[in-house]
């Protein structure tokens, strides 16, 4: 008896494939399109992208004939991530004026983490209100660094129902590190001086994850995130730096390597697999000649990029040699953001922000665009869609298009109705099309949250008529929606 013929996805009818693709999200549909030609044809079907558009923006009108629905979805997605609208969902939360000015901010969807002196808070935004859902007063002094890690990688994890939760890790000048989630907390003690740095990722271990910290005692310490290490979480202490630690970053080409930098611009690489206390775990070291302490550090593949003084230096972690140098010619770097997957680096200085393409040869002009400023750019954000720059004394930030440097929007930290009140910006955080700013005024500190996902009114440009495309769609009371019939 002969075997039945082998069937593949390519044997299915195109309409069937398109129907199946209709159950996927936008990211999965994009992945489906890269599999093969039949699946690409199904993934590019207008009916699929019509549903995705309607799910994301149910009240937006879908025009006919201008673009394919996939292109329309991409354009709309780009517009909201570039924050090119005047009517985002907005929520303002007033902080206790008796507490310190916010110094650290993090944003994850509708959750905001903010630090005020020794206090860390989590706010949940349920438009138009924002409320504090967690308050952690575990530290006895100012918080110096704040990180979010998956709760499942920490000893506070208990069940699969918590797998999407995030745990907060903070370091402080009180020489301790705190791991917090809701009402639970763990304290890690071992540093003999203020803790100044936490690693940007957890290190990989054979049994559990490992947290790295650095402090003014010039040591790097490793802490086990295993539940079995509750009483003795300190794994190792690395010596070798002569100044306080500034940054810690996990190497991307090997997750057991930890890169550390100190205030004297010395960079060291540590092998954290079966570590031994002391300096024997140091597998690489170099020094960057600089007139100032490190401003930013980030690892990408086998390279480590560090901004110091007026330069951004790339170090090959395999040889500890300088791979390239980006020089600003005696202009001190005040802030630096890196989008290394796109080969872009943005630097802030006293009068502007500069966006650099680091793929171009060093002897060629490699400035992508310049973004002018009325003061020192100390607040900076960079992603594939936008650059956000801020001068603390201005009380507002500017949003620029990443590739062209075109000014897209200007956003104030204070309330629009209270334009006479002078507000300064102390911190900002962004997550996709969402932004939160922390500011202060004579009336106290505020958090201003904006979500551009459902925006519909574009920012009016000088000499340009506002397009009717983004006006909210008005549904007829009798339910007459003829355009739905075009796709189903």
pLDDT beyond 90 at 35: no
Asked if 269 contacts 276 with a C-beta cutoff of 8 angstroms, the reply is: no
Token pair belonging to 140: 């006895």
Reported as a pLDDT band with limits 50, 70 and 90, residue 476 is very low
Reported as a pLDDT band with limits 50, 70 and 90, residue 245 is very high
Distance CA(19)–CA(335), nearest Å, equals 48
Distance CA(174)–CA(188), nearest Å, equals 11
- Region 269-276: mean pLDDT is 81
Token pair belonging to 304: 């480590």
Which helix (H) or strand (E) is 52 found in, with range? helix 46-56
pLDDT beyond 60 at 461: yes
Per-residue pLDDT at 444: 84
φ and ψ at residue 410, rounded to 5 degrees = -130, 125
Q: Which of 195-199, 252-256, 281-285, 370-374 has the highest mean pLDDT?
A: 195-199
| 437-448 per-position pLDDT tens digit | 999 888 888 999
- Region 236-251: mean pLDDT is 96
Task: Choose between 5 and 413: higher pLDDT.
Answer: 413
pLDDT beyond 60 at 470: no
Q: Angle, nearest 10°, between helix axes 69-81 and 46-56? A: 30
| Domains parsed from the chain with CATH numbers | 9-80 (1.20.1280)
| 324-357 per-position pLDDT tens digit | 888 887 789 999 999 999 999 999 999 999 999 9
Which residue has 């992508």 as its token pair? 368
Is the peptide bond between 12 and the residue preceding it cis, with omega within 30 degrees of 0? no
Three-state secondary structure call for residue 13:
coil
pLDDT beyond 90 at 11: no
Per-residue pLDDT at 468: 44
pLDDT, the chain, mean: 87
Per-residue pLDDT at 479: 42
27: left (phi over 0), alpha (psi -120 to 50) or beta: alpha
Per-residue pLDDT at 473: 40
Distance CA(93)–CA(226), nearest Å, equals 37
Give the pairing type, strands 321-327 and 220-224. unpaired
């Amino acid at each position: 008896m002969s075997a039945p013929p082998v069937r593949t996805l390519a044997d299915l009818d195109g309409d069937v494939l398109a129907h199946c693709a209709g159950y996927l999200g936008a990211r999965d549909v994009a992945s489906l399109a890269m599999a093969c030609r039949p699946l690409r044809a199904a993934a590019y079907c207008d009916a699929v992208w019509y549903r995705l558009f309607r799910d994301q923006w149910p009240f937006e009108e879908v025009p006919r004939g201008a673009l394919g629905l996939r292109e329309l979805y991409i354009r709309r997605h780009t517009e909201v991530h570039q924050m090119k609208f005047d009517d985002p969902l907005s929520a303002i939360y007033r902080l206790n004026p008796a507490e310190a000015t916010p110094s650290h901010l993090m944003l994850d969807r509708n959750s905001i983490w903010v630090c005020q002196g020794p206090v860390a808070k989590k706010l949940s935004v349920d438009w138009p209100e924002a409320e504090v859902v967690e308050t952690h007063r575990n530290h006895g002094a100012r918080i110096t660094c704040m990180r979010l890690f998956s709760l499942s990688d920490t000893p506070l994890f208990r069940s699969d129902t918590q797998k999407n939760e995030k745990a907060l890790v903070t370091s402080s000048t009180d020489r301790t590190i705190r791991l917090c989630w809701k009402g639970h907390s763990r304290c890690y003690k071992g540093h003999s001086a203020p803790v100044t740095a936490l690693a940007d990722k957890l290190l990989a271990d054979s049994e559990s994850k490992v947290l790295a910290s650095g402090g003014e005692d010039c040591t790097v310490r490793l802490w086990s995130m295993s539940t079995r290490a509750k009483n003795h979480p300190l794994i190792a202490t690395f010596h070798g730096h002569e100044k306080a630690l500034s940054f810690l970053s996990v190497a991307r080409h090997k997750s057991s390597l930890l890169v550390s930098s100190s205030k004297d611009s010395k960079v060291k690489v540590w092998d954290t697999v079966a570590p031994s206390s002391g300096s024997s775990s140091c597998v690489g070291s170099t020094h960057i000649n600089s007139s100032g302490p490190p401003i930013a550090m980030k690892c990408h593949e086998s390279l480590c990029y560090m901004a110091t003084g007026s330069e951004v230096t790339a170090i090959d972690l395999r040889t500890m040699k300088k791979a390239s140098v980006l020089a600003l010619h005696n202009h001190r770097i005040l802030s630096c953001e890196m989008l290394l997957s796109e080969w872009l680096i943005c630097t802030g200085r006293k009068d502007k922000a500069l966006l650099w393409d680091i793929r171009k040869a060093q002897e060629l002009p490699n400035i992508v665009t310049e973004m002018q400023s009325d003061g020192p750019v100390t607040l900076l954000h960079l992603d594939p869609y936008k650059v956000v720059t801020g001068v603390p004394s201005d009380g507002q930030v500017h949003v620029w298009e990443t590739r062209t440097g075109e000014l897209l929007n200007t956003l104030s930290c204070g309330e629009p109705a209270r334009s006479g009140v002078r507000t300064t910006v102390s911190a900002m955080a962004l997550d996709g099309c969402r932004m939160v700013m922390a500011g202060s005024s004579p009336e106290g500190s505020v958090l201003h949250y904006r979500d551009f996902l459902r925006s519909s009114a574009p920012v009016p440009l000088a000499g340009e008529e506002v397009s009717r495309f983004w006006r909210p769609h008005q549904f007829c009371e009798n339910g007459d929606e003829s355009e739905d019939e075009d796709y189903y």
